[in-house]
Amino acid sequence: MKFAIQINEGPYQHQAADSAYLFTKAALEKGHEIFRVFFYHDGVGNSTRLTTPPQDDRHIVNRWAALAEQYNLDLVVCVAAAQRRGMVDDGEAERNRKDATNIHPKFRISGLGQLIEAAVQSDRLMVFGD
Amino acid sequence: MSVTKKFMYLNRRPPYGTIYAWESLEVVLIGAAFEQDVSLAFLDDGVYQIIKGQDTSGIDMKNFSPTYSALGDYEVTKLYVERESLEERGLTVDDLMPLTWEDEAEDWAEKDSIQLISRAELAKLMDEQDVLFSF
Amino acid sequence: MSILHTVNKSPFEKSSLQSCIAHASEGSALLLYEDGVYAATKGTSVSDLVAGVAGVKLYVLGPDLKARGMQEERLIDGVTVVDYTGFVDLAAEYDKVVAWV
């Protein structure tokens, strides 16, 4: 079965980002397909490569990146939500003349249409939020 | 994408206190281009999103309530408002913005987008959807 | 055309659970997770509401329950404990999922 995952909250503040990860991992291990993981609202914060949690805590960003590496996941960060919250990749930095980037290379920035497309193409849409 | 699905956007949050209402409206506007069978449900505090007379001049935020009036132009014409949610909040349909759309099939006759429905009717509509969005 | 409802809020802070139950049709299921798990315990002000839901199967996410020190003997009778794999199975089993975030 094909799942689309929508994440509405950032890392650490809300458990939503953890629940989404553990659900996604369990689905993949069960042999399901994850069509796309879409980060929206403060959820875009899950994609910053600059995250530095204490050593005894989970690294939420790297955890997604590792899962993406293992299963070739499509991790999409909403561009409009990202721009509002200062989440920038190379392309966005150039377009908006920013002097830095912070998005992890395993994530990509794209439009809201990617969420709609995921909902159309998948058998289930799972929303994790607060 | 040839599949047409029944999409329902659940609006359960008030505006301004958090960004959820505004950013979910952005999804609705983008989603309109995908030509799915779209409806919006306003329940719980979501009914506050479409209250008339919103004025954000004192809080330095964009008043996005006029955007709901534009939904008809995007062919988003089914806005279900839950009667019980209004009543619980001391509101009636007269407190809501008049939201309309023009029906091309009937010589652009203006029609109400808002349909007042009961909680039981909304529960039934939810059962009939393919995808339900929450923000 | 049945729904898997998910509630992740404490019923003592937000009304998501109450709203969810008011919209849950017979044949649907309700999974309580994150702070929603407190609603699955006995002897609370919402226990009767939860236990009295007719025709809706009740599930609770075990890892969230355990993390919060809530033992399974505290659960309302008839609530089934699932893990994340069980959560995935439920999402696949029901036709669609409504997140009462």
Is residue B121, in this structure, part of any structural domain at all? no
Q: Which structural domain, as residue segments, surrounds residue C89?
A: 3-100
Across the A/C interface, how many CB contacts are shorter than 8 Å?
51
pLDDT for B2: 62
Among C16, C88, C89, the residue to mutate for chain A (most A Cβ within 10 A)? C88
Report the number of distinct structural domains present in chain B: 1
CATH code at position C69: 3.40.1260.10
Q: Which of A3, A15, A30 sits opposite C34 (nearest CB)?
A: A15
Alpha carbon distance A124, A93 (integer Å): 34
Q: How confident is the model at residue B3 (pLDDT cuts 50, 70, 90)?
A: confident
Give the one of C1, C97, C99 whose C-beta lies nearest to B128's C-beta: C1
Give the pLDDT score at B86.
98
Q: How far apart are CA B120 and CA C1, in angstroms?
A: 16
Is residue C1 pLDDT above 80, yes or no?
no
CA torsion, ordered B40, B42, B48, B54, to nearest 10 deg: 20
Does residue B120 sit within a domain?
A: no
| Contacting residues of A for C92, CB less than 8 Å apart | 1, 32, 123-124
pLDDT value of residue B127 = 97
* Token output for B36: 């799915």
**Partner-chain residue, chosen from A41, A119, A121, that has the shortest CB–CB distance to B20:** A41
A75-104 exposure pattern, b = at least 16 Cβ within 10 A, e = fewer: bbbbbbbbbebebbbeebeeeeeeeebbbb
Burial degree of B14 (CB within 10 A; 0-12, 13-18, 19+): middle
At residue A106, the pLDDT reads: 98
Q: Do C8 and A15 touch (CB under 8 A)?
A: yes
Indicate the Cα dihedral angle B44, B48, B51, B57, nearest 10°. 180
CATH of the domain at B98: 3.40.1260.10
Q: B44–C19: do the CB atoms touch at under 8 Å?
A: yes
Residue whose token pair is 């994850």? A34
> In this structure, what token pair is assigned to residue A77?
């960060």
CB contact under 8 A, C99 and A124: no
Residues of chain A with pLDDT under 50: none
Rounded CA separation A61/A17 (Å): 10
Structure tokens at C70: 């809530």
Q: Is the ipTM here above 0.85?
A: yes
Whether C96 sits inside 8 A of B122 (CB atoms) is: no
Structural domain of residue B43, as residue ranges?
8-113+130-134
**Measured between beta carbons, which residues in chain B are less than 8 angstroms from residue C3?**
126-127, 132
What is the DSSP code (8-state) at residue A80?
Answer: H
In tens, the pLDDT along C71-90 reads 999 999 999 999 999 999 99
C9 and C36 Cβ atoms separated by less than 8 Å: yes
Between CA C2 and CA B78 the distance in angstroms is: 22
How many CB atoms within 10 Å of residue B88? 13
CA dihedral A52, A53, A54, A59 (to 10 degrees): -110
| Tens-digit pLDDT profile for residues B102-127 | 999 999 999 999 999 999 999 999 99
A19/C8 Cβ within 8 A: yes
